[in-house]
Chain A
Amino acid sequence: MSYLQLANVTKKFRSADNLETVALDQISLTVERGEFVAIVGPSGCGKSTLLQIVAGLIPASGGQVRLEGRVVTAPPPEAVYVFQQYNRSLFPWRRVLDNVAFAIEHQPSVSRAIARERARHFLSLVALDAHAEKFPWELSGGMQQRVAIARALTAEPSILLMDEPFSAVDALTRLNLQVLLLSIWERTKVTIVFVTHDVDEAIYLSDRVSVMTSSPATISEVLSVDVARPRRPIETREERRFLELRHYLLDRLLHTNADPA
């Protein structure tokens, strides 16, 4: 049995004028332990909603999410969700170190000293130990998202659910964060489901890319990314297979996306 299984996950919203919209339509997907799976799709196709259902943050209207065989009804302890909006998910009243320690300080078995010690370890993993005593808003956007990643890792999850985590930083910072994330993934063997609207990013990072379409809001296909690892930020993007996949995916997304933006 797969590590993460989505079976016919459906989400319906009722708008103010009582019209029902289908935000997610019968989505099925499996993810193996240790796998890096990207979900790529146009803005507003429901990628984030899907990820929040997997994280147990919102309930599905139909279908099931199973993590290690158990049905997800509340946020599972082994999963951590990383938000796109790092500046809203970090707490401005806590210093960087205490923001990271937040991940585990509520656990009864973890003392305050141990929480801070582990937080410091994961801060050094994202090369921010020198900024431990600063407040989040004193750091750049890319650094803030590294703090958020360190915080997620401190909880030592077996699966990271990342919602467009790099879409709010500049292009170069984004490349650096991608390299950092891959090195962490290779070291920790954590499973990652990564939502993005950036086709390059999806191919560069993942083992498989799931393509999501808007109407109907579902996963239309899943591609294996047969591009060799370790991936390198410049050379990988110049490989023939990378370019083929990029061409194919962009072609699919442009043609399934009904309204030309």
Chain B
Amino acid sequence: MLTRLRSRVVDVAPGAAFIAALLLCLEIAANSEWVNRALLPPPSSWALVVWDLIASGQFIAPLTETLLRLAAGFAIGVAAGTGLGLVMGYWRPFHDFMEPLVELMRPIPKAALVPAMVLFLGIGDSMKITSIALVVFFPMLINTVQGVRGTDPVMIDTARTFGYGSAAILWKIVFPAALPFIFAAMRVALGLGMVLAVLSEMVAGSGGMGFLILDMQRSFRVRQMYAWLVILAVVGLALTALLGAVERRVLHWGLTERPTGVKRTRGKD
């Protein structure tokens, strides 16, 4: 455990040093007036604000507000996208029926739908959660369909020979077989969900991190604006790490632990 931690530290060290060097460059650039300090104050001044926000506990309320909406929208989008993807991937006629609609909707940047959703849902939580769910939905759907399609037919025939019906095969074989695709989609969807969480607060909001970032910029509290960006970045990193930990736990049979030489080849004769 300790050696694993140590090797992890060694792994991230060069990347972390690079970030530190970049911040140092910014610091020097701002202090020597190479950039306009009013637009880009030195990172050390952001850090002081971040410290203040944390020490005073002021960061908690906006963070919680944004995270709760993100969690709700993400959960709805993942559940709906995965559920529909399983059925679409497994049942061909339903796929052919739904695919044109999906392909029509998919290329629309979901942010462009926010104004329309404000019309129907107002400017409250339901609009924001729906926006997040919508942007999460599509990558979940597309990847799940692909994962289902990629299920090894030998596994499905194995279940059939033991007398399993379609619904049981979908739940016990196809779903776990598609899980690596589903988790890959969740990683993409989490990033998109964060974009919409912040953006929807900017469009119509009275709280949350997106609202604050815009509010700080408008009231020209630039250091505060950057401080919230820093917090947002750290939160994003933490959420990604959390998802990664869940993935490693759920996909315990993944390739990482598998000894080399076990090849999953297709076809025979």
Contacts and interface: CB of A to CB of B under 8 A. Distances in A.
B154 A83 contact: yes
Given A83-B154, A89-B155, A137-B262, A75 B269 contact: no
B14 interface: no
A138 B261 CA distance: 11
Interface string A10-37: 0000000000000000000000000000
Interface string B146-172: 000000101101111111100010001
Nearest to A85: B154
B268 A85 contact: yes
A81 B152 CA distance: 16
Contacts of B161: 55, 57, 75, 79-81
Contact of A77 (B152, B163, B269): B163
Contacts of B268: 48, 84-85
A48 B163 CA distance: 20
A106 B163 contact: yes
Contacts of A137: 253, 258-259, 262
A89 B264 CA distance: 11
A106 B264 contact: no
A75 B163 contact: yes
B244 interface: no
Contacts of B152: 88
B83 interface: no
Contacts, number: 66
Interface residues of B, number: 26
A103 B155 contact: no
Interface in A57-84: 57, 75, 77, 79-81, 83-84
Q: Chain A CB within 10 Å — which of B162, B163, B253 has the most? A: B162
Contact of A57 (B157, B164, B263, B265): B157
Contact of A83 (B158, B176, B179): B158
Given A43-B269, A80-B161, A102-B162, A91 B262 contact: no
Given A44-B269, A81-B157, A93-B253, A87 B264 contact: yes
Interface residues of A, number: 29
Interface in B148-204: 152, 154-155, 157-164, 168, 172-173, 176, 179
Contacts of B253: 92-93, 135, 137
Interface string B240-269: 000000000000110000110011110011
Interface string B15-42: 0000000000000000000000000000
A155 interface: yes
B154 A88 contact: yes
Contact of B157 (A83, A92, A155): A83
A148 B157 CA distance: 13
A89 B154 contact: yes
Contacts of A135: 253
Contacts of B264: 87-88
A234 B210 CA distance: 78
Interface in A106-150: 106-107, 135, 137-138
A103 B161 CA distance: 9
Interface string A194-214: 000000000000000000000
Contacts of B258: 92, 137
Contacts of B179: 93
Contacts of A43: 269
A102 B172 CA distance: 10
Contacts of A155: 162
Contacts of A107: 163
Contacts of A84: 268
Interface in B123-154: 152, 154
A103 B162 CA distance: 6
B24 to A, nearest CB: 47
Contacts of A83: 154, 157-158
Interface of A: 43-44, 48, 52, 55, 57, 75, 77, 79-81, 83-85, 87-89, 91-93, 102-104, 106-107, 135, 137-138, 155
18 contacts: A55-B161, A57-B157, A75-B160, A75-B162, A75-B163, A81-B157, A81-B161, A88-B152, A89-B154, A89-B158, A91-B155, A102-B159, A102-B162, A103-B162, A106-B168, A106-B172, A135-B253, A137-B259
Interface of B: 152, 154-155, 157-164, 168, 172-173, 176, 179, 252-253, 258-259, 262-265, 268-269
Q: Which 5 residue pairs across A and B have the least CB separation, nearest first?
A: A88-B154, A81-B161, A92-B253, A89-B158, A93-B253
